[in-house]
């Protein structure tokens, strides 16, 4: 019953798990990423330490388009100019609007 004995050991996915998992793709279709570092300057006014701090932020940049896919920025911390932009598909939006305006009877 010592299944969780190694509390500090990270859970290792099996090759089977990895094989059956979806590959993370950038919006451009790229699947290779490189790690970069961005830094944020935290002002002493908001810093928990009460001093100016430089916060390193690791980013994963798509090798193909050089942007950060939205999936890697769930908290929205990455500046917009570094992120991939998901272009709204106008046709679909307009279509949805038309459907919405029609009374359903």
Least distance in Å: CB of 65 to Zn ion?
A: 3
| Nearer CB in complex with Zn ion: 16/87 | 87
Least distance in Å: CB of 41 to Zn ion?
A: 28
Positions that interact with Zn ion (CB under 5 A): 26, 28, 30, 62, 64-65
Token output for 45: 């006014």
The CA distances from residue 97 to 53, 70, 101, 103, in Å, are 47, 26, 6, 12
Question: CA 23 to CA 72: how far, in whole Å?
Answer: 13
| Nearer CB in complex with Zn ion: 29/58 | 29
Helix, strand, or coil (residue 83): strand
| Nearer CB in complex with Zn ion: 30/60 | 30
Least distance in Å: CB of 79 to Zn ion?
A: 16
Q: Is residue 92 within a helix (H) or strand (E), and if so which, with residue range? A: helix 90-101
């Amino acid at each position: 019953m010592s299944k969780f004995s190694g509390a500090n050991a990270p859970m290792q996915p099996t090759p089977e798990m990895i094989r059956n998992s979806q590959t993370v793709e950038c919006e451009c279709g790229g699947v290779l990423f490189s790690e970069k570092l961005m830094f944020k300057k935290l002002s002493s006014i908001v810093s928990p330490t009460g001093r100016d701090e430089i916060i390193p932020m690791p980013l994963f940049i798509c090798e193909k388009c050089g942007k950060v896919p939205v999936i890697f920025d769930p908290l929205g911390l990455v500046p917009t100019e570094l992120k991939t932009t998901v272009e709204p598909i106008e046709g679909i939006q307009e279509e949805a609007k038309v459907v919405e305006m029609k009374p359903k009877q």
